[in-house]
């Protein structure tokens, strides 16, 4: 994408406690990622770091840490999975920007990986990050092996054909179709392409924390509603004029989006509905789930 996204919008400043919560956890993630992928002399390592340390919000790892805390896991236990989620996310952005996909020049306000390092190396950046992610997720000291394996399988399912990669394939097939895509189709794309990783972030944190089935159900519902709210908010930001200088909006590209399927006003209502459902799913969990509720309100502000 050619613009800075408006998700986690700046329209109304989040409450100070939440700002601090997010900053503290983002710092933990930065440090852990630095420890796993320190600077190196090889061009591949430089290219990996160029994309991994490009100023992302670290939303997925923070969600995993927050869900883990609700389940009773200290951040240190969830951190390897949290980093794995960010690596997978970064891989997906690097590959999504490639000429064969969205063919974007800018990401987070600076040139995309393939524009700086060439297409071949950008493909390898994605491959390396995906592989690093599973290496990290396979080494989780302090987590019972059965739980760690279950979380690992969850992550793989969310990232692969049943989730993100499959959603991207549906998205590619729908792009530029030149016809109105049905809401059901758009929702299916969003659930897999973007929603699956956000849902997995919450579930992996909860699983590693040893969440019982009832708690896992609440957190899963939260993750599913948040995932959809997040992508619809992104669609709305784009339709409302978030495009970069080259005018490559989702509409121009013929992307399958909520505003394209049902119009901007109905898309706004859908985003709010999904946000409220996310908040409601974890309402009964009390103060320890406040960061999760705050994140939902940040993704889709009033
Ligand atoms: C190429 C296998 C493959 C998958 C790509 C998820 C995805 C599938 C592509 C991402 C493209 C995109 C812009 C999707 C919309 C969701 C979105 C706004 C992602 C950006 O996530 P943020 O806002 O990004 O968390 P930061 O920069 O903060 O990390």
Q: Which of 51, 163, 194 to mutate to test the pocket of ligand 1 (most atoms within 8 A of CB)?
A: 194
**Could you tell me the pTM of the whole model?**
0.93
Would you kindly state where each structural domain of the chain is located, as residue ranges? 7-299
Return the pLDDT at 46: 98
Gap between the Cα atoms of 270 and 225, Å rounded: 11
**Tokens representing residue 295 in the block:** 């994140």
Tell me, using a 6 A CB cutoff, whether residue 194 lines ligand 1: yes
Count CB neighbours of 212 within 10 A.
9
Q: Where are the alpha helices (DSSP H) in the chain?
A: 16-36, 43-52, 59-71, 75-96, 113-117, 119-137, 145-159, 164-174, 183-190, 196-208, 213-239, 250-253, 258-262, 264-281, 290-299
Dmax (CA) of the chain = 52
Tell me, using a 6 A CB cutoff, whether residue 87 lines ligand 1: no
Give yes or no for residue 256 having a pLDDT over 80.
yes
Separation of CA 286 from chain center: 25
Gap between the Cα atoms of 38 and 76, Å rounded: 19
Which ligand 1 atom is the nearest neighbour of the CA of 55? 27
Task: Report which protein residue has its CA nearest ligand 1's atom 5.
Answer: 92
Tell me, using a 6 A CB cutoff, whether residue 5 lines ligand 1: yes
- Measured in degrees and rounded to the nearest 5, phi and psi for residue 100 equal -75, -15
Tell me, using a 6 A CB cutoff, whether residue 92 lines ligand 1: yes
Tell me, using a 6 A CB cutoff, whether residue 257 lines ligand 1: no
Q: pLDDT band for position 7 (50/70/90)?
A: very low
What is the four-CA torsion angle of 89, 209, 227, 276, rounded to 10 degrees? -150
Please write the tens of the pLDDT for every residue from 168-180: 999 999 987 656 7
Which top CATH class is 7-299? Answer: mainly alpha
């Amino acid at each position: 994408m050619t613009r800075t996204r408006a998700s986690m919008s700046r329209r109304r400043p989040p409450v100070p406690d939440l700002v601090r919560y997010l900053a503290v956890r983002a710092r933990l993630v930065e440090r852990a990622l630095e420890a796993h992928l320190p600077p190196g002399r090889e061009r591949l390592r430089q290219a990996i770091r160029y994309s991994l340390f490009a100023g992302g919000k670290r939303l997925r790892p923070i969600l995993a840490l927050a869900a883990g805390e609700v389940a009773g896991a200290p951040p240190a236990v969830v951190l390897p999975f949290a980093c794995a989620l960010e690596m997978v996310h970064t891989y997906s952005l690097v590959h999504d920007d490639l000429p064969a996909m969205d063919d974007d020049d800018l990401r987070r306000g600076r040139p995309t990986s393939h524009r700086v390092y060439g297409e071949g190396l950008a493909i390898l950046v994605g491959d390396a990050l995906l592989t690093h992610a599973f290496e990290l997720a396979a080494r989780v000291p302090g987590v019972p092996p059965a739980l760690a394996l279950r979380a690992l399988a969850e992550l793989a399912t969310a990232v692969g054909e049943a989730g993100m990669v499959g959603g991207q394939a549906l998205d590619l097939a729908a792009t530029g179709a030149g016809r109105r895509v049905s809401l059901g189709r758009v929702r299916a794309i969003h659930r897999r392409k973007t929603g699956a990783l956000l849902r997995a972030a919450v579930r992996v944190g909860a699983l590693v924390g040893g969440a019982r089935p009832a708690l896992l159900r609440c957190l899963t519902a939260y993750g599913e509603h948040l995932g959809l709210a997040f992508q619809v908010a992104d669609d709305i930001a784009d339709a409302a004029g978030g495009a970069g200088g080259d005018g490559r909006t989702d509409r121009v590209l013929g992307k399958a989006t909520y505003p394209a399927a049902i119009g901007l006003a109905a898309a706004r209502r859908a985003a709010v509905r999904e946000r409220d459902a996310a908040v409601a799913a974890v309402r009964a969990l009390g103060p320890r789930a406040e960061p999760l509720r705050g994140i939902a309100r940040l993704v889709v502000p009033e």
